[in-house]
Structure 1
């Protein structure tokens, strides 16, 4: 299936999509590409809010704001994501999970990619409407969707025999 079809299906059945991804075998290059695609989309989603912030406060130029977002999302966030996936794997192991370090990473990275379209919408709202109850409510929706996706993917990835 295409990535966009997998993303849409993830909202209905995150475990089924994760099992299909795990059936492709452990490929770290695919996991890293998934993470970088997710972070790239999240980075693009930040632009409308950065443009709005620049127009409201031109003391910090747009280039500097984009540079900071680029540094944070494409250079620091992958390190944090790998660390978070490791912590999640340790907790899952203590709770009896049967997955591997790779399955925990893929569950987190895929969940980020699947939630990224909502983060793009959140970025548009940040740019067009700005801070307020709409943006806060949308942030809550994004969080709940991510937790749903990650919970389903992690459950599938920690099941016995999750990876061949």
Structure 2
């Protein structure tokens, strides 16, 4: 299935998407490609807000802001791997039967699934600016991510498919 189909389906049935990923042959490049797709879309989601900041504070050029945001997103790669490993260890302590790979797959799939919400969040931050609306959208995206990730992680830690 395509990534866009997985993103839409992850909001309705995240366990089905996770099961389908776990049935694929184990492929670290595939898992990393999910993370890369998330990072690209997260970077694009920052553009409206960075553009707004450039208009309000023209002393820092847009290119400089974009480079900073891109480097910050790239610097988080080890943190995502660490978060996946910690989530697997916690699940294992609670009798999880998955693997580090399945935990990474669950986290990276969940991150990619919330990118449409992140794009909306970026638009709200860019058009309206900071405030109640931006905080509400950010909270909804965060809650959506947690729900999708926990559902996928629970499926990944069942152990029969990994």
d(CA) in 2 for partners of 1:93, 1:87: 10
| Structure 1 segment 65-144 matched on structure 2, within 5 A | 65-73=65-73, 75-144=74-143
Aligned CA RMSD, in angstroms, stands at 0.8
Runs of 4+ aligned structure 1 residues displaced above 6 Å come to none
d(CA) in 2 for partners of 1:82, 1:69: 19
Alpha-carbon deviation of 1:26?
1.2
| TM-score, normalisation: structure 2 | 0.98
Q: 1:10 and 2:5 equivalent?
A: no
Alpha-carbon deviation of 1:78?
1.2
**Structure 2: unaligned runs, 5 residues or longer:** none
Paired positions, count: 162
d(CA) in 1 for partners of 2:104, 2:140: 23
| TM-score, normalisation: structure 1 | 0.96
Deviates more, 1:38-47 or 1:60-69: 60-69
Q: 1:25 and 2:25 equivalent?
A: yes
**Structure 1: unaligned runs, 5 residues or longer:** none
d(CA) in 1 for partners of 2:133, 2:92: 38
Q: Spell out, residue by residue over 1:62-110, the C-alpha distance to the aligned partner (whole angstroms, 9 max, x if none).
A: 111111100011x211111011111111111111100000000000000
